[in-house]
Amino acid sequence: MPRCGGVLRAAGAAGVPAAAIHGRWPDIAASVPIEPADVVVCHHVLYNVADLVPFVRALTTCAKERVVVELTDRHPRAGLAPLWQEIWGIHRPDGPDATAAAEVVREAGIEVVTESFEVPARPSRGRAAIVAGIRRHLCAGPERDGEIDRLLPGDFDTGRRSVTCLWWPGAAEG
């Protein structure tokens, strides 16, 4: 189930009309009954997009003024690479990162501007919940929790996060 309930609730609370359309972008782009927007935003989605170019081109055709894409500087799971090595003996990459994403967009002929900044730390979920969440990402059972707890830095998940916005002009008429 897509994670859009929070966005719809926030829009409702702000009195902004909102609708959710379930589907994979850009596959559903042609069937989305929306007018081009002044600004199109895409928040922390690029990580799982295998083919960035059609994805960002479809965003561009929906925006009259600007497309703004936010993502963390490094892939959110890149920090788990040492644990993959320790728990499973599997080498995982140290990226990709926002610079690589920007290069791909640029190579597609889009004049992308990047802006990096820090966002405040999220309230801690508590060590046990953090460990359990990471264990699920690592596809391990709860019997590995103690080991994962020992391997994780004490302040894991609570620090400020470095994020990057990529933005470029929209191409929709209007």
Which lies closer to ligand SAM via its Cβ, residue 69 or residue 152? 69
Which lies closer to ligand SAM via its Cβ, residue 3 or residue 150? 3
We find the least distance from the C-beta atom of residue 146 to ligand SAM, in angstroms, to be 28
We find the least distance from the C-beta atom of residue 4 to ligand SAM, in angstroms, to be 7
Which lies closer to ligand SAM via its Cβ, residue 26 or residue 144? 26
Distance CA 111, CA 38 (A): 18
Order of all β-strands in the sheet with 63-72: 37-43, 63-72, 161-169, 113-119
Distance CA 165, CA 101 (A): 11
We find the least distance from the C-beta atom of residue 105 to ligand SAM, in angstroms, to be 15
Return the number of other C-beta atoms located less than 10 Å from residue 159's C-beta: 11
| Interface contacts to ligand SAM, rule CB under 6 A | 2-3, 24-25, 43-45, 48-49
Asked if 166 and 71 touch (Cβ cutoff 8 Å), the reply is yes
Which lies closer to ligand SAM via its Cβ, residue 5 or residue 126? 5
We find the least distance from the C-beta atom of residue 24 to ligand SAM, in angstroms, to be 4
Where would I find the beta strands (DSSP E) of the chain? 37-43, 63-72, 113-119, 161-169
